[in-house]
Structure 1
Amino acid sequence: MLFAFTFVTMVGGNPEHDAYGFRHWKDPGPMSEFLSTGPLGRFEGFLGSLWMASFTTVGPEYVTLIAGEAQHPRTYVKKAFKTVYWRFLLFFIMGAISVGILVPYNDPALVATFITNTATGSKSSGSPFIIAMRNMQITSLPHVMNALLITTIFSAGNTYMYGASRILYGLSLEGRAPTILKKCTKQGVPIYCVLVTMCFPLLSLLQLGNGSSQALTWLTNILTAGGLINYFVMSVTYIFFYRACAAQGIDRKTFPYYGRFQPYAGWIGVIGEGAIVLCYGYASFKPWNVAEFFTNYTMVLLAPVTFTFWKVVKRTRFIGPLEADLVWERPIVDSYERSTLSEPRGFWVEFLGWVGVRREKDGAKAGEGQGEMVEVR
């Protein structure tokens, strides 16, 4: 819907009949200066956008968490991972291009919301898309967009709640969190993990106060750095995994899903994420700001400390490529998938089942080549 809005309005389909096209890419330009002036300032502007975008770029790590509760993880998780590439292309890259087309970086409402933090009203009214609609004197569509954004926010919140509770549950199983968090309901839901996780969304209420909203900004910076470190660790872990496969003579193509352009993509992740983590809070040095430094680098300082502490206290060691267990719980997964009565189904078959149209195989007739039977219930 937003992409259609961008295209229609840029070719003149707006109340002002202004075919503005890519005007904002020329005036004031595609890149804003930040901290410095000239080419260096524009590069710093790019870095500032990169830090902010890092907070929203998530996806693969949540797909892996679902594997523990999927009926056919080797089938469903593989398909889910493949959609990540399209998600990044369509939602992140195309969304960023649309924002650059619709709103110039020096738009007063945009600056007041995201730069000077002096905007009045809710953050949703400061969305670049909403700002563009109001600049074009479109009165009804912003309300529709805010209503649709509620569904997106609910989906994101549901994902984060699921991910956080399952991570906490996994930590308790490994002895890195209190044992009481292992408690699950009859349906398999880690109830205490969910309750602990649901306490943290209350921090969002800080946004309601002008002064306390700064605390939420600090928390966002800390979480962003944590996410960057997460991707760095994932890249390092993958390189260790790749080395183990090569040392033990295991062909990665025999796995249900394997990464392409490896190990080069893994090293790109290590170097790229490492550079971003180290330079993430460079703005706190120009001029020196103690508060910003610690909000940007708290996780960077804390992660090596906790890692080293666990290595020393638990006396764990790094595993060599030939020692790595690449089988792990594979037999358990094999028996689990064989015990599942239902066959893997595609999205549309699953969707039709939700609305009451069920597609089933008649075992007796299937052997006679009669195919499948469609039953509407």
Structure 2
Amino acid sequence: MIQDDVSPAYSNDLDGKKGRDVQEVVSLEELDYSNEVFTQDKALARGLKQRHVQMIALVGIFGTGLFLSSGRGLALVGNVGFVVSYVIIGVLVGLNQMANAEISTLMPVTGSNVRHASHFIDESIGFALGWINVYASVLPAELAATAVIMTYWTDLNPALWLSIFGVIIVATNSYKISFYGELEFCFGILKISLVLGLFLVGLVIDLGGVPSQERLGFRYWKETPWNEYFTTGSLGRFLALVKALNSACYSFGGVSAISFFGGESINPRTSIYIAAKRIIYRTCTLYFIAVFVLSLILSSKNPKIVSPTGNAAGSPWVIAIQGAGIKVLPHIINAIVLTSAFSAANLSLVQGSRYLFALAAKKHAPAVFLKTNKRGLPYWGLIFSAAFIPLSYMSCSSSSSTVFDWFQTITSSNLLIGWMSISVNHIAMTRAMKVQGYSRDRLPFKIRFAPQAAWFSLVAFFLIFITAGFSNFLHNNWDTSSFFSSYFVLPLFIVLTLFWKFFKKTKFVTSSQVDLYTLFKDVEDNPEPPIEKVRGWKIITLLWS
């Protein structure tokens, strides 16, 4: 799917035959160089290595969506439909990240798609995306999940665990970015070990290796391949799949982190490219085998996932393993799932502070968010993001499952907007390069079919987004909270865009006015070491490096 094509842009002169200088299309005087593209990022510490970037993205994917709430999707669409829904979203996310890798290696900045939108499309779009991402990041969905997970072991008030984990998360974000990277790397190793362990245990259960349970094989695929939603027949199965797709989006939430830390990574172009390539392969292997095995060992009609309790006892993995009579393993799984939720909550806090930094870099937020301490951390953004942690106490009520579902739906809608913005940014970059005469061979890393992947993922994610709350329009099925969580982000995006456009009188950046000169000049001025090919026994390191 991805071609190892390192462009000669590192060595070619900008006035070479493979592309005309931007000055031939629009004079330098017409371009706005008042805000240098990479200047603000110099205040951040470049402490993330390639393995850190990859693991941060990986732990963002293998989170509570897979380990805790995937049972809802299984109950909704059936055992075969469950696998199909994850394969569809996984493929679309993979295509989207191909486009993300190309544009982010050309312009590796903190905040990635937010600043890309301002640079390639319109500052008002970047303003709206930035504040939507801040709003999404400060929603403590994953932190709320930590308290839900703890109820598996204790009846203590969840507020206690929210307070403890909230303090720890703020503390881990108050030190060097390299410390955060190492912490997430360790969590990533745990998650990879858990996925591989679940795969092996699931196979043992499925093949009859547990004394208390007979061989399952593909029994559940035959008994409940597709469930129906709202109506019967083919239409009912299709509606169930459509609803399950939106739920599956939540599980892939952290994938865009491969480009998010462009301003804090060592050799960011190489790190982003390798992370993008390997995250797709890992998703296609580790993630899909986990979903596949789960569909073999747990019926979609299991009452415990059809009517979840709202705590970790409703984890489909715990339910399946307990059903096989294995007593100790569920506690081990729950412990690692807890680290997953903690890690995802940690990432949300980091992203909130960095989105504020990205906004401030374009003067879309107060300049105070650009301030960094001696370790290169944007501490005011951290303080602002941490101030919303008390929202997690909403999950302490008896309806904690409903609150978690509400957070999950809002997060899924925001993710879809973010993924669509990546596609639109790449389309704008491609058009600008064509108008200004820059060949795709000039890109620092070129990925085959990335332009087509951007268009395809854009259309697909748009369709998933507009159908996310379709159930509210079915007869006697209206739910105000569901409608709000599914579509609130759209009017918010429109209002924020129009506000900034009229307030600042911004204009859309035409293809001939996009500043490609600075981007390609930076590629030439900052060459990075060539990618070392992995051979021999080192192939095993692809799991974590």
Q: Considering the TM-score relative to the shorter chain, is it more than 0.5?
A: yes
Q: CA deviation at 1:207?
A: 2.3
Q: Does 1:326 align with 2:511?
A: no
Q: 2:263 aligns with which of 62, 65, 68?
A: 68
Q: Counterpart of 2:505?
A: 315
- Write the mapping of 1:149-228 to structure 2, written as runs, cut at 5 A: 149-211=337-399, 213-228=401-416
Residue range with higher mean Cα deviation, 184-193 or 5-14 = 5-14
TM-score, L = length of structure 1: 0.82
Preserved CA contact (<8 Å) 2:242 2:464: no
- Write the mapping of 1:40-119 to structure 2, written as runs, cut at 5 A: 40-113=235-308, 119=309
**Counterpart Cα distance in 2 of 1:337 and 1:201:** 41
**Counterpart Cα distance in 2 of 1:131 and 1:295:** 28
**Counterpart Cα distance in 2 of 1:53 and 1:90:** 17
Q: Compared with structure 1, are the counterparts of its residues 336 and 190 closer, same or farther at alpha carbon in structure 2 (3 Å cutoff)?
A: farther
Q: CA deviation at 1:101?
A: 1.1
Q: Select the structure of larger CA radius of gyration.
A: 1
Q: Counterpart of 2:52?
A: none
Preserved CA contact (<8 Å) 1:24 1:100: yes
Q: Counterpart of 2:318?
A: 130
**Counterpart Cα distance in 2 of 1:275 and 1:217:** 21
Q: Does 1:259 align with 2:455?
A: no
Q: 2:334 aligns with which of 138, 146, 156?
A: 146
Q: Counterpart of 2:12?
A: none
TM-score, L = length of structure 2: 0.58
Q: Counterpart of 2:201?
A: 5
Q: Deviations over 1:192-228 (max 9, x none)?
A: 1112222334433332321365344323322221111
| SS, match of residue 176 in structure 1 | coil
Preserved CA contact (<8 Å) 1:247 1:321: yes
How many residue pairs end up in the alignment? 339
Preserved CA contact (<8 Å) 1:78 1:256: no
Q: Compared with structure 1, are the counterparts of its residues 77 and 263 closer, same or farther at alpha carbon in structure 2 (3 Å cutoff)?
A: closer
Q: CA deviation at 1:281?
A: 0.5
**Counterpart Cα distance in 1 of 2:452 and 2:408:** 31
Q: CA deviation at 1:344?
A: 8.3
Preserved CA contact (<8 Å) 2:210 2:324: yes
Quote the RMSD (CA, aligned, Å).
Answer: 2.6
Q: Return the letter of the residue paired with 1:314.
A: K
Q: Compared with structure 1, are the counterparts of its residues 185 and 345 closer, same or farther at alpha carbon in structure 2 (3 Å cutoff)?
A: farther
Q: CA deviation at 1:239?
A: 0.8
Q: 1:245 aligns with which of 411, 426, 433?
A: 433
**Counterpart Cα distance in 1 of 2:527 and 2:450:** 29
Q: Compared with structure 1, are the counterparts of its residues 141 and 216 closer, same or farther at alpha carbon in structure 2 (3 Å cutoff)?
A: closer
**Counterpart Cα distance in 2 of 1:330 and 1:196:** 35
Q: Counterpart of 2:420?
A: 232
In structure 2, runs of 5+ residues without a counterpart are 1-196
Preserved CA contact (<8 Å) 1:70 1:76: yes
Q: CA deviation at 1:332?
A: 4.9
Q: Deviations over 1:239-279 (max 9, x none)?
A: 11111122223222332323321422111112111111111
Q: CA deviation at 1:345?
A: 8.4
Residue range with higher mean Cα deviation, 207-216 or 134-143 = 207-216
Q: 2:210 aligns with which of 1, 6, 14?
A: 14
Preserved CA contact (<8 Å) 2:468 2:486: yes
Q: Return the letter of the residue paired with 1:102.
A: I
Q: CA deviation at 1:30?
A: 1.9
Q: Counterpart of 1:300?
A: 490
Preserved CA contact (<8 Å) 1:109 1:131: yes
| SS, match of residue 445 in structure 2 | coil
Q: Return the letter of the residue paired with 1:217.
A: D
Q: Compared with structure 1, are the counterparts of its residues 200 and 14 closer, same or farther at alpha carbon in structure 2 (3 Å cutoff)?
A: farther
Preserved CA contact (<8 Å) 1:221 1:296: yes
Q: Compared with structure 1, are the counterparts of its residues 184 and 43 closer, same or farther at alpha carbon in structure 2 (3 Å cutoff)?
A: same
Q: Which runs of 4+ in 1 moved over 4 A?
A: 329-338, 342-349
Q: CA deviation at 1:329?
A: 4.6
Q: Return the letter of the residue paired with 2:469.
A: G
**Counterpart Cα distance in 2 of 1:201 and 1:30:** 40
**Counterpart Cα distance in 1 of 2:522 and 2:434:** 24
Preserved CA contact (<8 Å) 1:240 1:321: yes
**Counterpart Cα distance in 2 of 1:310 and 1:208:** 37
Q: Compared with structure 1, are the counterparts of its residues 112 and 60 closer, same or farther at alpha carbon in structure 2 (3 Å cutoff)?
A: closer
Q: Does 1:33 align with 2:212?
A: no
